[in-house]
Structures are given as C-alpha cells and as structure tokens.
Amino acid sequence: MAPAAPILLFDSGVGGLTVLAELRKVLPQAPVIYAADTAGLPYGAKSEAEIAARVAGLLGVLSERYRPRLAVIACNTASTIALGMVREVLQIPIVGTVPAIKPAAALTQTGTVGLLGTAATIRQRYVDQLEAEFAVGKHVVRFPAPGLVEAAEAKMRGDPVDPAIIHDAVQGLLAQPWGDQIDTVVLACTHFPLLADELARAFPRPVTFVDGAEGIARRTASLLAGQPFARSKPDLAVFTAEPDSRASFARMLSTYGLERIERL
C-alpha cells in the first residue's frame, strides 16, 4: 500500500467530521479525503432504493478518482441501507456506522434508552436487530429528528441554530411512551454530536449522550494496523454541490485538518 493512499470518509454533509475528529486521534498521520454528498442532502427523507443507488454510485466514483486504502461510511442512514451493496461494489475495506445501541444499553441505569436519528435510519430492520441483540429487557425509544441535520449544517457554516428545532427534537423524544425514563440517548446520526451542547441544555434533566464515532475510529485503526502513512499533499474536502465560499467555512474545515476544498 502506497503511504500516500488516503482514507476516504463519506457522509451526506458535515456530520462525518465528528468521525474524522476521532480518527485524527488514533491515526494522526493518515492522509484523508473527506467527501460530502451535499447535492443529495438530506438522506433521511429519501427512499431506501434511492439512498442505496446514490451511495454505491458515488463511492464507486470517489474510489476510482482518489484510490483510497479504506472507506468509512460516516453516516448512519447510508450505512444501515447501503453498506452491503457498497461492500459488493468496492474492492477495499469498508467501515460502516451503526447506532450505538450496544454501549448505550450497557450505560443506562433506568433501563430506557432514547434514540434520535433520521426517519430512514430509525425504521431500518438493522436497528431492530441491534435492539434485539444488545438491549434485551430494556426500552429503546426512537424518535425521528431530521431537523437536527439542517441545524448541524447551519452551525458548521457559522449560521444561527434555530432553538425550536432542538426543542422539538427533545420534547418529541420525551413525549414517547417511556420517554420520561430516558437517561441515555443514542445520537444515531453523525451530525447530531455537533449539537450535543444545544441538546444537553434542552433536556430537563441530565442525560448521557452516546455516539459511534470513537468506535468507528478504533475499527478503522485496527484494519490499517502496520500500514505506512505519509501525506504528499494537504488533506482534501470534496463536495457534490458547490461548497460554501465563505472564509469562515474554510477555517472550520481547517480545524479538522482539511486544508483543500473541491467540488466533485
């Protein structure tokens, strides 16, 4: 494997930056291409067939262009729907992102876990299987909060976050059966940890937030153990729609080590 071969991180938008932040901690020398399908955002409102075809097609194009050593689908919706198809298409290791139900079930003291995700994620059979395997005897309370994707994108662009979106997500979750017993919340979209502070302030009592970013980074590092890394050029962020041209957006990306910006 060439030392300059990058790791490809793919998401519908900037949510995968939460995964990149954890990846930098364990593989600081690894070259990275961060790809955001902003032309297809949001994924949560699309059909399963549309998401699967779009994700598989884009990852094929990105793999052909950038020749990554491994790809991370840093998106719960894309992973729960398209991971199997992508693994059939690409001849490189693929790491997916799934709702962190297992660690949340181990942490809860009340036996009730909240799960915030996109509508497409929370209805997947794969999530049912995770609950059946890792949350036996516990309640997993699901609520779709697609507005949080838009809010996270706005925050990372430097725009105001609408507090009503945060409020509606929290109150919608708590209003579900068993909602008043929730003490642990799975953030089942990589965008959502970007709003952890806003969400914490909106809950009427302390809760523990759990997401999968750290586990994804560990899994990626284990698959690449012993491989050489060397950057031949600054790391790249590539977007399927015209990227935000404001200097503040470029500065935000640079805090994640992404010094170049291109449109696919």
Strands 70-73 and 112-117, by their bridges, are: unpaired
92: buried, middle or exposed (CB in 10 Å: 19+, 13-18, 0-12)?
middle
Query: Would residue 109 show up in a list of annotated catalytic residues for this protein?
Result: no
Angle at 34 between CA 95 and CA 32, to 5 degrees: 80
The residue type at 155: K
Catalytic residue among 189, 213, 216, 258: 189
What residues form DSSP beta bridges with 11? 36
30: buried, middle or exposed (CB in 10 Å: 19+, 13-18, 0-12)?
buried
Q: How far is CA 251 from CA 3, 14, 102, 140, 175, in A?
A: 27, 14, 35, 38, 39
Query: Would residue 75 show up in a list of annotated catalytic residues for this protein?
Result: yes
Catalytic residue among 71, 75, 95, 130: 75
Active site amino acids: 75, 189
